[in-house]
Structures are given as C-alpha cells and as structure tokens.
Structure 1
Amino acid sequence: MAIAKAERLMNLALCLLGASRALTKRELRDSIEAYLEAFGPSGRLPSQHAEAGGDDAFNRMFERDKDDLRELGLVIETLETDEGETGYLAHRDSNRLPPVALDAEEAAALGLAARVWQQARLAGAASGALQKLHAAGGMPAPADGAGGRGAAERQPYSSLEPHIPAREAAFEPLMLACRDRRAVAFEYRKSNAARPERRLVEPWKLECWRGQWYLAGFDRDRGEQRVFRLSRITSAVRSRAGAFTAPVPEQVSVRGTVEHWAGESTTGSARIRLRRGCGYPLRARATAQRRLDDEWDELELPYGHGMDAWLVEFGPDVVVLAPDELRAEVVDRLRAVAKD
C-alpha cells in the first residue's frame, strides 16, 4: 500500500530536523520508507510494484516535497557536503518558535477569546491551545499563586462569559466550505418571500453582525455577489463539485453590505413606537427617545435603504409612525410573511 503524502512529508521533515549534517538526495531516498517503497534504494532499478521512472521520478517527487515543506514554514538549507554534493538540512534553531510569555492582560484577552466559541467546531481547538500554553508556562499563574486543577477557572476573567452564538445548522458546513473553497447549494427564504428558493453559491466569508451570522459569496444563478443570513437557510447545506467560477475578492465586506441593507447608510430619520423592555438594538441606534406610557416608547432612528426588513424582525413590538413609505414597506413585508 502506498504511503500517504502527509506521512511522507512528516518523515522527510523529521529526517531533515534530526540530522547532524546536510543529507544528500541519495541518503534521503535510502532513509525514508515512502521513497524506498516507491523507487527502491539508490543505484538499483525500482521493484515491479514501484512507480515507473526511477531516478527522474524520485527527483520530481523530492523537489515537490521539499517545496511543500518550505511552503508550510519549514526552513530547509541547501549546503555543500564534504564530498562536494548538494545536501539539505533543517536546523532546529531555525525552526523553533521563540518562547511564548504572556502578561496578565494578554492572557485575559486570550482566555476570553477562547471562551467565545461555545457551540462551534472551533471550541475544541481553542481549548486545546490554552491547555498547551498552560503546560508550556506561557500563561501567568493565578493571582493567588495557586496551581493545579481548576487554576485556570480562578483567573480574574473567569467570571466573564462572552460568546458568539453559532446555533444555525448551516454554520459548520459553510465554515468548512469557505475554508476549502467548495461551492454549496441550499434553500434560502428572503425576508419578504413566502417560500424559499434554491441557491447555488461559491462561499467566500462568514461574519457575525449584531448577533446574526451572514455569508458572503458569489451566487452562480444571479451572476453576482450576494450576502445571506444563515438563519434564513431552510435546508441542509450540500457541497458541489468543481472549482470556483468567479475570482474571490481580496477584501470581502460582509458587514458593510449588511449595514447598507439594514439602514446604516442613512437618507433621513424615522419615528417608531417600541414596546418597553424590547428591541435593544433599536434603542442603541436611536438618536432620540421618549416615554409614551407604561407600555410604549417613541424612538427616532436613522433611516436608510433596507430598514423595513430589520424592523419586521421585531414583529408586534414595533409600530412605524413615519415616514409613510417605511410604514407601507413594513406592512407589505408582514403581509408576505403571514401568507407563508
């Protein structure tokens, strides 16, 4: 059975890191099992099970492997051996990261960041990273100097519980699709639509804005960039084969697009009635507010394109007073939802 490429690269890296002197291609070929299995020892013809091509095939594979290791960050030096041949060596000092030492403020920030991911795939990676830092001595000791089990919980930041919710089932498959550059298909219901529609998307980036996750990508059917709110994806996310058909921009502004749709790009002001104790995001954006009675407050908000879609999300807790066009847009959206 052929040895996997990852194992071959790992063995090559360990061989170069463990050597006390530069090793030639011939020595590496005779030392690494994957090369021996594929090409046989140097100076001999490959076995009947080996890859065809002999020395030329080995040279091509070795050069690819060496380039892959360098791309992963391994510093490989090219040196001349005592026999005048070209040799390769990866000095441990050149491939060792400096010690990690965090002060109290840095450790607190890192601890809080690691506790953000409570329900997503990143939770395990974040927890493992903190454990490694504690084991290596990179995290400062608790304020009382105590160690042992539970020491991390006694840090000053342990009482804070920040988190970014990622409850949508679409989050993890879309996160992996963005990472792997794989197109996806899903059913999506727009805020003003009675029924969901199928979307075929090349995903670029996920971003959280005001407690909601959004995906930016290229909509193949519509031939342009679109932004999708994950809570409106009504089906499972399915991967599609094939490479991306549109270039991925260097900068993808998910938040800027959503802010524009949600009325952050303002053209005036709007007045609404808001039920007391509700709609904190609206109150945070209000330029003025006053109490009407025990049940309602009146707020004045910056008004821009797409604000009707945002107000609809608050349902019966919001009543639009002005302008008239905004009130009509909100009513139309509520009627469309009621028909669903």
Structure 2
Amino acid sequence: MATTSARLLSLLSLLQARRDWPGGLLAERLDVSPRTVRRDVDRLRELGYPITAFKGPDGGYRLDAGAQLPPLLFDDVQAVAIAVALQVAALSGADIQEGAARALNTMRQVMPSRLRHRIDALQVTAVGQPATGPDSPVDSTVLTAIGAAVHTHEVLRFDYASTSAATDAPPRRVEPHHLVTWKGRWYLVAWDLDRDDWRTFRCDRVSPRTPTGPRFTPRQLPMGDVATYVTGRFRGSTDTSAWPCVGEVILGLPVAVVAAYTRDGLVEELGPDRCKLVEGSWSWVGLAAALARFDADIEVIGPAELKAAFAGLARRYAEAAG
C-alpha cells in the first residue's frame, strides 16, 4: 500500500509539472507498465483530480481544471513560496486577511518539520501600499537566511551590492530586526554595528555570509514600530511617519481627475472644474514638481516654502526652455 501511495504522489507530481504526458513516457518515468498507469489515473480520479485522456500516436493524460479543488501537491520551493505569499496577503490590508491566515495555518499543519521551521522563521511585515509595478526578484535562499537570522536574533554578515560602495568593501555586520515588503521590494531593517545606526537594506542586493554571528538582544526601534519607522524613512522623516513637507494648493481640474492620480493626498471639491489638494513629499522642490504634473492652473495656498519652491522651479524651467 505504501508503494502504491508513493507512486500516486509521483504520478500527481508529474501531471502537475507539464500539460500533456504520453502514457508510455509516464510508465517509463514511474518504472511501471502502461496498465498500472491507467489504474493509478483511475485512483486519482476517484480522489477528485480531473484527469482526461487524449488520443493520438502517443495517447496520454492531462490534468485539467475541475469544478472542485482537490488536494494539491507542492515541492519544497513551491510550498515556501506560497506560505510567504499568504503571510504577505494576510498583512496587505485587502479583504482576504482571514482567508489567507486560515490557508497559511492549513498548509503549516501538513508541512514536514523542515519546511515548518523555515516558514516559522520567515516572518514578514508588509508596509505601505501594494506595488504598482513588478517586484524586485530576490532569491528565496537569501530571504530564508535573513529570516532565520531575524528569528534567532543572530548577527548577520553579508556583502551588499550598493551603487555607492566599493567592490572590495568589507562585509556589513548588522543585528537583523525585521524583514519588510514595501511597494514591491523586500527590505531588511537592521542595526548596523559598524555605523552605529539603524539602516534599511534592499534584500535583492544582499549576499549573506556564513556562519552567522553571536546572539543579541533586540533593540527598540525608533518611532515605536517597524511600519511607522519604515514609512518615515522612505518619506524622509527621522522621527515620524508623516511627510516632512506638506502643502496646500487649488487646481483647476475636476476632483475626480485629481483623485485618480493622488495616492496619499486629500482632495476636496470646490466646483465642477476646481478642487483643493493637500499633499506631502520628501522635499519642497519635490512637492512642487509633483504638483506641476497636473496640466492645470495652480494657486498655492501655503506654506511659504512651497511658493518659494515653485519660484525656483519656474526659473529653472525658464532657463531650460531658453
């Protein structure tokens, strides 16, 4: 019975790996007769797997989509990837938190211990709005190594491919605290031992070294929690998650048009083709440039720093045009 069960799992794994499988090739891969393959296909159908047979010179089998979801089979890499995706989905703010959490718990219960330990160590915090573009690819082994160091509170050494760092720069030594996703990218939030300060590192630029260092007692993050800290750092603030520069303008556009291109701003309707916008940025010049993207008349309500930034940009634009 154990041999039959193992063979059924192998057959199911093969059927999931490609669309069409000639019967003879399946028999060869499983080291059984074509008749045994036919019997095993019938057993899988009884379990709810929608397997169809196709005719031809190399007649074989295909695993199709069915009306119900049968039990699924994943390899180690797929299982870890799905578990990480479910964890991020549960923290994304979408209306699927409960379902994602239940699915993650279901997967965890049936995982072998080696995978369960990897998932338990890979704790992720999703911060900010979902990404609008493709994610930066990160090797799963890198995420696993970083997550394990965060979980065990062990000093992490790694090479960092920074555009400003020398190619022969010594490895970074950090106390890893959180693994974070922010707008489609993975980041490590850590205390840099050599720079004696908090830093955020892009995980796609991290190449972990082994072994890890000694254990450490986690420090208290600035601003209280990782979400507030990361949001503040990417907005250019050092002590709050709010934008350091916030201005108010009146735009000669309908409120629906402005709202469609504003993520964090507050839009108020003033008339059919007129609205007020309160928006923030990391700098006054950056805010003025962002507001200038609207093809409309702009009236600056305040503050004075925003008016000065517009004046400075006007001079630059005039010089560029001349």
TM-score, normalised by the number of residues in structure 2? 0.36
- Structure of larger gyration radius: 1
TM-score, normalised by the number of residues in structure 1? 0.35
